[in-house]
C-alpha cells in the first residue's frame, strides 16, 4: 500500500534531501527510521520525494511516498487496535517514525495517510512553492532568524524587485538560472514570483512553478536582489533570461534562506494522468 508522508525539516545540518554515502541527508535519516521500524519485515522501504532540496535548504511542506508490504503495514498494528483498517494503520506511521526520530529532531513527519490510487509524490505534483527570506540594511537584526534568513549589507528596493520578478513569469527556457545537467530540460512554467516586506522588515519572495531545475530558485532570488541594489535593471534581467546562458551578472543566493513550503496535486482522478504527463520531456511549443 502506498502511504503519503508530509514532512518538515530544518536543513542546516543536512547535506540535502537525497541519500549520499557517508553524509547526513533527510532521505538517509528517514529511510534509516523506516529500516528500524520494519527490521523484521525486509526489504526496508524507500522514499520517493516531491522535490529534492539542496544542502542547507529547509522545508515546511515537503511530500514523499513510501510503498509498504502487507506484512509491514500489519506490523504497525498494536494489541489494542487489532481491528484497525489499512487507512487507520497508514495514519499511525507518522507517530511511529517521530518516536524513533526523537523529540528534538530536526526532521519531523507532520502526517501520514493512505495515498489515493495513481498518486506519485514526484510525478503527480502540479506545482512546488518556495519562500526565500532576505534581511537588508533596514531589517532589525534577529539572531533567532540567522539560520533561515540571508543578510544583505545595503538597502534593497522591494518594489523594483517585485516588478522585475513578475516580468519573469510564464513558460520559458530558464537555462540562465539553472545549473546544467546532462539530458535535463530547463523549460519550466514560473507561475508565481513576487516580493514583499513582512511586518518585521524582512524581504520575502514567494515562487511557484510546475517544477524547478537545479539552483533555479536561488538564482532567481539572486537576480532580483541585483535589481534591488541597483546592479541590474528589470529590463536587462528579462534579456538575460531570454539569452538562456549562465551569467555572472548576479549571484546565486545561499541555501539557508530557502524553504519549500507546499506541493500541489490535482484531484484524485487526475493523479495518474498527471504522473504520465510529467514523465514526458517538456518542450516549448
Closest CA to 133 of 147, 123, 118: 147
Closest CA to 131 of 220, 64, 237: 220
Query: Do the Cβ atoms of 234 and 160 come closer than 8 Å?
Result: yes
Which contiguous run of DSSP H or E holds residue 89? helix 86-101
- What is the SS3 assignment for 95? helix
Query: Do the Cβ atoms of 11 and 58 come closer than 8 Å?
Result: yes
Active site residue ranges: 54
Q: Side-chain half-sphere of 135: how many Cα atoms within 13 Å?
A: 17
Query: Cell numbers of 205, please?
Result: 519572495
Tally of CB atoms within 10 A around 98: 17
Amino acid at each position: 500500500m502506498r502511504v503519503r508522508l508530509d514532512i518538515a525539516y530544518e536543513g542546516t545540518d543536512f547535506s540535502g534531501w537525497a541519500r549520499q554515502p557517508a553524509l547526513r541527508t533527510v532521505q538517509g535519516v528517514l529511510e534509516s527510521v523506516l529500516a528500524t521500524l520494519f527490521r523484521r519485515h525486509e526489504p526496508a522501504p524507500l522514499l520517493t520525494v516531491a522535490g529534492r532540496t539542496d544542502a542547507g535548504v529547509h522545508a515546511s511542506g515537503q511530500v514523499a511516498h513510501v510503498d509498504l508490504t502487507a506484512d509491514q503495514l500489519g506490523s504497525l498494528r498494536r494489541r489494542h487496535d487489532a481491528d484497525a483498517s489499512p487507512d487507520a494503520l497508514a495514519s499511525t506511521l507518522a507517530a511511529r517514525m517521530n518516536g524513533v526520530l526523537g523529540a528534538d529532531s530536526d526532521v519531523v513527519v507532520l502526517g501520514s495517510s493512505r495515498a489515493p490510487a495513481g498518486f506519485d509524490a514526484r510525478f503527480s505534483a502540479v506545482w512546488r512553492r518556495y519562500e526565500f527570506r532576505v534581511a537588508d540594511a533596514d531589517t532589525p537584526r534577529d539572531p533567532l532568524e540567522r539560520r533561515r534568513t540571508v543578510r544583505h549589507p545595503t538597502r534593497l528596493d522591494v518594489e523594483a524587485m517585485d516588478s522585475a520578478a513578475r516580468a519573469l513569469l510564464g513558460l520559458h527556457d530558464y537555462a540562465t538560472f539553472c545549473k546544467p545537467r546532462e539530458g535535463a530540460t530547463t523549460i519550466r512554467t514560473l507561475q508565481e514570483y513576487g516580493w514583499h516586506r513582512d511586518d518585521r522588515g524582512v524581504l520575502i519572495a514567494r515562487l511557484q512553478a510546475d517544477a524547478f531545475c537545479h539552483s533555479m530558485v536561488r538564482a532567481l532570488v539572486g537576480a532580483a536582489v541585483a535589481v534591488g541594489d541597483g546592479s541590474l535593471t528589470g529590463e536587462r534581467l528579462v534579456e538575460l533570461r531570454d539569452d538562456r546562458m549562465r551569467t555572472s551578472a548576479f549571484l546565486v543566493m545561499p541555501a539557508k534562506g530557502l524553504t519549500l513550503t507546499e506541493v500541489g496535486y490535482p484531484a484524485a482522478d487526475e493523479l495518474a494522468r498527471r504522473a504520465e504527463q510529467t514523465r514526458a520531456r517538456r518542450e516549448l511549443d
